Structure 1
Amino acid sequence: MSAEMQISEDVIDPARAEAMMATLGQPRGFAAGEALPPFFHQLYFWEPKPPGALGRDGHPKLGGLIPDMGLPRRMWAGGRLEFETPLRAGQPAQRRSVCETAKRKTGRSGALGIVTLRHEIWQDGRRCLTDWQDLVYREDPDPAAPGPTAPVARTDEALSEARSFDATLLFRYSALTFNGHRIHYDRDYAREFEGYTGLVVHGPLLAQHLMLMAEARLGGLSRFSFRATSPLMDFETAEFCWKDGAGWVRGPDGRQCMVAEAG
């Protein structure tokens, strides 16, 4: 779809990147001009809104870049990234955002809003990366309806790492990405309004761990794509798995929570 471009400016503060690494359990510092890890652009270009401009779920009210389709529940379903040159600490940068797709359709679980945003991150006159975000909007859940059946995850990984996510970690990640979505820190809201059994681990946080795993295996990334398939809760320990350019997150019951490909 044709849409107006939204432009945001920010300085890539090294302290914020350092706080992110500490939150991920891998503390380290960043000197001015040093390349940041992949996906760290999500720490910048905040869009702070006053309380009156927020929706029920803590996100900014729809309208503007993302049209309001009358569906209250938001999920980050996946995305893909193309990396061209590293984003560097301590320097100004610009994000150029457009809504590529926004359409309403009917699925097996009811009405759906499908949105794809494209963000280009520019620094020093060069495009550093392009980030496509796939968002899904849904109706409130029917308590009487059976929940979706999660796919079963692969078990043939060459490498795996176990990770847990408590409420403090989720709060810190929400703060660093300025994500007000209540499913990540308000347990009562997550259960009563959105039908989850606990706090939901951010999809991009799962993708971030897979991305760092992929970067360590490949020595750098030119592309990365991911798709969320089942939510992971704060009381669960997950296995982050890797084999031959593919990554996935396996829940404690063997279900597949996310799949990814890297190159």
Structure 2
Amino acid sequence: MIPGTATSETLTDLIDPARARAFQIAMGQTPEIETGSALPPFFHQLYFWSPEPPENLGRDGHPRVGEGLIPDMGLPRRMWAGGRLSFEASLIAGKPAEKISEVEQAQHKTGRSGPLGFVTLRHDIYQDGKLCLSEWQDLVYREDADPTADPAPIIAARTDETDRRDMEFDTTLLFRYSALTFNGHRIHYDLDYARDTEGYGGLVVHGPLLAQVLMLMAQDLIGPLRRFSFRASSPLLHFERASFCRAGETLWVRGPDGRQCMTATAES
């Protein structure tokens, strides 16, 4: 375990319905959330901002690691690799809520591409003193991209879905999602940085945004969610059209070349 400079963090926020409606508009949905409405699953990502001044940011636009909750793993590239959620009650728009976060795990490993750092954060969100949801967020830290290295192997996605929805993510949607979640990671809006520094072929669609689409799809098809987990396997880029697929409790995101970008399971 690698200690950080803080063992836990508590943030409070008024769950402003206007922010949730703005996200619904950005996603092409009817803006129907009002004070007293139950938030859709994962909309809590829009809240509990923790802004830092420019001098406290790293090169990637995120708050510099090692000075807050997340320890410094000694590796420059950050990715949200996946997560798990347990839903106990809906968050209600227009009421204050509290998020308590802690580092559950931080460790180094060696992978095919070199050294890796793994950090797992746990977030518990309360409203009116009642636990509404628990979330485990898995982050991976890596070395800078090696332009001479062989490309990562492609995992082929399943093609046996019973339900499918296709969606595109243009630069405007990526900007709006970054703004609404106060996510400064430059891979989502700075093409030169994403390509030249981190080695991507374009802007990267946020992993949580892909997971959000899968969650909304799962809720539409199987009802209110009790559990949801997801794992990213390949980045989706801003110029690519993705297929969001489901078979039973399993969901996945397929890229236009057939590769697997994300897998998930949902329980209602």
Partner Cα distance (1:168, 1:230) in 2: 22
The offset of 1:27, in angstroms, is: 2.4
> 1:148-187 to 2 correspondence within 5 Å?
148-187=152-191
Whether 1:13 aligns to 2:4 is no
Partner Cα distance (1:202, 1:69) in 2: 22
Task: Identify the match of residue 113 of structure 1 among 111, 117, 129.
Answer: 117
Partner Cα distance (1:22, 1:12) in 2: 17
Whether 1:135 aligns to 2:117 is no
How many residue pairs match? The answer is: 263
Task: Identify the match of residue 45 of structure 2 among 42, 67, 72.
Answer: 42
Aligned partner of 2:242: which letter? A
Secondary structure, aligned partner of 1:122: strand
Aligned partner of 2:19: which letter? R
Partner Cα distance (1:233, 1:4) in 2: 35
Partner Cα distance (2:226, 2:262) in 1: 20
Q: Which residue in the other structure is 1:67 paired with? A: 71
The offset of 1:5, in angstroms, is: 1.9
Partner Cα distance (2:154, 2:64) in 1: 30
> 1:184-203 to 2 correspondence within 5 Å?
184-203=188-207
Aligned partner of 2:215: which letter? M
Q: Which one is further off, 188-197 or 99-108?
A: 99-108
Partner Cα distance (2:154, 2:88) in 1: 35
Unpaired runs of 5+ residues, structure 2, are none
| Aligned CA-pair RMSD | 1.0
The offset of 1:62, in angstroms, is: 0.2
Aligned partner of 1:17: which letter? A
Secondary structure, aligned partner of 1:198: coil
Partner Cα distance (2:10, 2:102) in 1: 9
**Moved runs in structure 1, 4+ residues, more than 3 A?**
none
1:213-244 CA distance string (max 9 Å, x none): 00011110000000000000001001000110
Whether 1:29 aligns to 2:35 is no
So what's the TM-score if we normalise by structure 1?
A: 0.98
The offset of 1:103, in angstroms, is: 0.8
Secondary structure, aligned partner of 1:132: strand
Aligned partner of 1:57: which letter? D
1:23-63 CA distance string (max 9 Å, x none): 11112222211100000111000010100000000000001
Q: Which residue in the other structure is 1:87 paired with? A: 91
Q: Which residue in the other structure is 2:244 paired with? A: 240
Q: Which residue in the other structure is 1:147 paired with? A: 151
Partner Cα distance (1:150, 1:173) in 2: 27
Partner Cα distance (1:46, 1:218) in 2: 31
Secondary structure, aligned partner of 1:171: helix
Partner Cα distance (2:112, 2:167) in 1: 32
Unpaired runs of 5+ residues, structure 1, are none
Whether 1:124 aligns to 2:139 is no
1:174-210 CA distance string (max 9 Å, x none): 0000000000000000000000000000000000000
So what's the TM-score if we normalise by structure 2?
A: 0.96
